[in-house]
């Protein structure tokens, strides 16, 4: 994720005129696939393999110490990620829930969901250890692994889908599109808009295209105000007095 962030900040060049903003989506996707294969897959396989051959931990106190330390570390990381997501949501004018689903920066969301899954998984692991300690039945340990694996799998699928949409190229949100269209329509020279399309190319960066019908009357009025009505009136009067139409055609061409 850190590499993706660095790469996405590279300036546009001739090969990539819109920049490298989408590179963060690529590395977020790779991260999510890694969680799915290694985090979820390996954990579920390990849990299933130990369902019939599980043994109680040799030293449950060491296991509890590892889980407790991990909860502190992952919890601190989760708090930082939540703060980053809140900041991103405020910047884009979204609720946190909407930002998680539709926000333009998947990196902070990826960190938050991964850390959230980690803390939840550690809580499940701790509960499994408590169950093993209280009942003496080691089956709760592999069951906990399978539950944690499924949790990681759901998080990974969510992140894969989110980054897939970003890489395919999704449109900007409806309320943002509406703001752009209202801005364009508020200009008197714009008569109508057709075939408006947009695409998110990175956090805070968008590509927008529209076909515009211009109001010819307003266009002419703006032009005359800019260049001076009297100047053109004088040129047309002088051209109309010439013996042939060449001068009049020249003035009309220049005016057109």
- Do 186 and 119 lie in a common domain? no
Query: How confident is the model at residue 246, as a pLDDT?
Result: 87
Query: How confident is the model at residue 17, as a pLDDT?
Result: 86
- Do 8 and 81 lie in a common domain? yes
What are 145-156's pLDDT values in tens digits?
999 999 999 999
Query: How confident is the model at residue 173, as a pLDDT?
Result: 82
What backbone phi and psi angles, to 5 degrees, belong to 227?
A: -95, -20
Query: How confident is the model at residue 230, as a pLDDT?
Result: 87
Closest to 124 (Cα-Cα) out of 105, 106, 149, 160: 149
- What is the number of domains present in the chain? 2
Query: How confident is the model at residue 116, as a pLDDT?
Result: 93
Query: How confident is the model at residue 122, as a pLDDT?
Result: 93
| pLDDT for 74 beyond 90 | yes
**193 burial via Cβ count (<10 Å: 0-12, 13-18, 19+):** middle
Query: How confident is the model at residue 77, as a pLDDT?
Result: 92
Confirm whether pTM is higher than 0.85.
Answer: no
Query: How confident is the model at residue 126, as a pLDDT?
Result: 92
What are 84-103's pLDDT values in tens digits?
899 988 887 888 888 888 77
Mean pLDDT over 223-246 rounds to 86
- Do 17 and 131 lie in a common domain? yes
- Do 30 and 131 lie in a common domain? yes
Please give the radius of gyration of the chain, using alpha carbons only, rounded to the nearest integer: 31
What are 8-17's pLDDT values in tens digits?
888 888 888 8
Number of H helices, E strands in the chain: 11, 2
Closest to 28 (Cα-Cα) out of 203, 176, 145: 203
Q: Which of 107, 141, 168 marks a domain boundary? A: 168
- Do 47 and 155 lie in a common domain? yes
Query: How confident is the model at residue 157, as a pLDDT?
Result: 93
Which domain, by its residues, includes 244?
Answer: 175-254
- Average of per-residue pLDDT values in the chain: 88
| pLDDT for 212 beyond 90 | yes
What are 193-202's pLDDT values in tens digits?
999 999 888 7
Q: Rounded to whole angstroms, what are the CA distances from 196 to 23, 127, 182? A: 26, 54, 12
CATH value at residue 91: 1.20.1510
What are 120-152's pLDDT values in tens digits?
999 999 999 899 888 888 889 899 999 999 999
Closest to 163 (Cα-Cα) out of 39, 44, 1: 1
Q: At 108, is the pLDDT very low, low, confident or very high (cuts 50, 70, 90)?
A: confident
Q: Which of 134, 168, 202 marks a domain boundary? A: 168
By the 8 A CB rule, do 147 and 23 touch? no
What are 170-195's pLDDT values in tens digits?
888 888 899 999 999 999 999 999 99
């Amino acid at each position: 994720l850190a590499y993706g962030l660095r790469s996405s900040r590279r300036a546009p060049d001739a090969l990539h005129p819109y920049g490298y903003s989408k590179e963060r989506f690529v590395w977020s996707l790779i991260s999510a696939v890694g969680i799915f294969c290694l985090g979820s897959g390996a954990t579920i396989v390990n849990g299933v393999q130990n369902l019939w051959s599980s043994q109680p931990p040799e030293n449950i106190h060491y296991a509890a110490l590892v889980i407790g330390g991990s909860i502190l570390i992952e919890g601190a990381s989760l708090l930082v990620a939540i703060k980053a997501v809140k900041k991103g949501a405020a910047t884009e004018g979204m609720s946190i829930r909407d930002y998680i689903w539709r926000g333009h920066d998947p990196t902070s969301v990826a960190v938050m969901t991964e850390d959230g899954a980690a803390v939840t998984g550690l809580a499940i692991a701790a509960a499994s250890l408590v169950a093993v300690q209280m009942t003496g039945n080691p089956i709760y340990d592999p069951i906990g692994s399978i539950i944690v694996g499924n949790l990681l799998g759901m998080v990974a699928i969510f992140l894969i889908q989110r980054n897939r949409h970003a890489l395919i190229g999704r449109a900007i949100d409806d309320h943002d599109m509406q703001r752009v269209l209202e801005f364009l329509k508020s200009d008197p020279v714009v008569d109508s808009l057709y075939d408006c399309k947009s695409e998110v190319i990175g956090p805070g960066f968008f590509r927008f295209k529209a076909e515009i019908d211009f109001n010819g009357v307003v266009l002419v009025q703006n032009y005359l105000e800019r260049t001076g009505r009297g100047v053109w009136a004088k040129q047309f009067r002088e051209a109309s007095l010439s013996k042939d139409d060449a001068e009049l055609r020249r003035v009309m061409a220049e005016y057109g």
